Structure 1
């Protein structure tokens, strides 16, 4: 393949990169906040500039050609370099003001973050915080968040991570459910219980089975994609479900059962290496690192 010498247009390159990552023009247009025809024209213009075909149609989506696959890695590196320049420049401002986006699971956003945000408002009132409450893993490299609270170690080399605590989940019911059902002290007792599951019940039931509990999929009469909804359904007496032990410790509507059954998992703080040099992001990071262990304890 012979590459032409062209004047490179970053907007067109970005359109190509996001289309490659999203797999279709419609999804890429939504991600970039533009119309699909405008995005399509930018990708077509880049193909004409380079003299190559970048995509082939596959059903309703798009797949990279060989030329597109070779080019996409170079464009991705350009994008990350552009972000690094922006972050380094932002880090030169030493004042503790401006926005910081923190992503956490729904339960952590409800349970752990209020105390941190209250203290942050006292020590740095000019910092504004956007809380991205989601169980999905947000892409820190694409600025979907500045800091993430995760339960897994970051794998990407340009992210930094620090394990700050260990959390534990247990099985809970409401007092009303326990009174109607009877004792839930032995593993065999759970075989008759109604379970409140998640959208991935195979993983949920697999963990219970590995813990020696005789459960079946038929017991998951209710499932929810939202962990916060699962916890509320437990409180409302709809069945047995998983909840962080610390979150339910002082809740009169939650009773822990099968006390010997628990699931431990790490709590990590994650940020982009360059973002970590920003004074306001560093302050929020330090507060989280200081307060989360005590809040989880």
Structure 2
């Protein structure tokens, strides 16, 4: 397919996105305040313009084809960009007011969210963001938060979940600790070092064993339920810890324990209520989080 020659109506993209989100033409028509036949015609026109089939229709309902699944994330990005551009152009983002609560783990909340959320103050200064440092999914179902950043996909039907990519983590330690303890040359050597863990450090033992590091429970000389505290313990030189690369690579005085040691990947899910469809302030914060966190995931995975 010659992508440079493709031309299509933005309404067709909106119809496809709404159908993918709602799972039916009727649901898309309800969200977009139009008719079911109109949705069908718009998607058909989009398929003709692109030269691919996006949606399969059967007695069991609608499902995305492989081409539809490949294109959905790109079209979502287009939709988010168009929404933000439109709001900035007509000044609506300046008029949006109210509080939006975002929840994430304490380490992510402290180290990553301040930078990612900075554009909110520029685009929509009337929005007040409250950050709830927590890893409990109940924060959303009990309406304690509007948006959650999680490492597992929720299964509650009233939540919308978006996979933004994967962050990577590997073993880091303070340079002064490795100077004292001597730098390991092999994964097996790493097991002889002191470790800093979280509240349940033994959960890390199995993946480390699989990666050739026979670490023992006694190796975890320091641990904390708080990711922020664990990171500070690493920086203070107490030992080795599995930490996100986005932190480890940027921190002076911290280095990889083994330069060629493989990374662990952990997914990043952005989760919100279905209220996202109607709340402009939640939509603005959600879309900016999508952009910021996706960019971080791409950089850390070596993507463009």
> TM class, shorter-chain normalised?
0.5 to 0.7
What per-residue deviation string (whole Å, max 9, x for no partner) do you get for residues 71-93 of structure 1? xxxxxxxxxxxxxxxxxxxxxx9
Runs in 1 of length 4+ with deviation above 6 angstroms? none
Q: Provide the residue aligned with 1:32 in structure 2.
A: none
Q: How does 1:132-281 map to 2 (within 5 A)?
A: 132-258=132-258, 259-281=260-282
State the Cα distance separating 1:113 from its structure 2 match: 1.0
What is the TM-score of this pair, normalised by structure 2?
A: 0.64
Q: Provide the residue aligned with 1:295 in structure 2.
A: 296
- Hey, what's the Cα distance between the residues in 1 that align with 2:278 and 2:185? 50
Secondary structure, in 3 states, of the residue corresponding to 2:191? helix
Q: Provide the residue aligned with 1:114 in structure 2.
A: 114
Q: Provide the residue aligned with 1:86 in structure 2.
A: none
- Hey, what's the Cα distance between the residues in 2 that align with 1:255 and 1:138? 36
- Hey, what's the Cα distance between the residues in 2 that align with 1:172 and 1:220? 14
- Hey, what's the Cα distance between the residues in 1 that align with 2:137 and 2:229? 19
- Hey, what's the Cα distance between the residues in 2 that align with 1:225 and 1:253? 24
What per-residue deviation string (whole Å, max 9, x for no partner) do you get for residues 138-159 of structure 1? 4312211000011111111111
Secondary structure, in 3 states, of the residue corresponding to 1:266? strand
Larger radius of gyration: 1
- Hey, what's the Cα distance between the residues in 2 that align with 1:164 and 1:211? 26
What is the TM-score of this pair, normalised by structure 1?
A: 0.66
State the Cα distance separating 1:266 from its structure 2 match: 0.8
Q: Provide the residue aligned with 1:131 in structure 2.
A: 131
State the Cα distance separating 1:261 from its structure 2 match: 2.8
- Hey, what's the Cα distance between the residues in 1 that align with 2:141 and 2:228? 27
State the Cα distance separating 1:237 from its structure 2 match: 0.4
State the superposition RMSD in angstroms.
1.7
Q: Paired residues, what number? A: 205
State the Cα distance separating 1:276 from its structure 2 match: 4.1
What per-residue deviation string (whole Å, max 9, x for no partner) do you get for residues 57-105 of structure 1? xxxxxxxxxxxxxxxxxxxxxxxxxxxxxxxxxxxx9951100000011
Secondary structure, in 3 states, of the residue corresponding to 1:192? coil
- Hey, what's the Cα distance between the residues in 1 that align with 2:157 and 2:136? 20
Q: Where in structure 1 are there 5+ consecutive unaligned residues? A: 1-92
What per-residue deviation string (whole Å, max 9, x for no partner) do you get for residues 204-236 of structure 1? 212212222111001111111111111111111
Q: How does 1:62-73 map to 2 (within 5 A)?
A: none
- Hey, what's the Cα distance between the residues in 1 that align with 2:97 and 2:131? 16
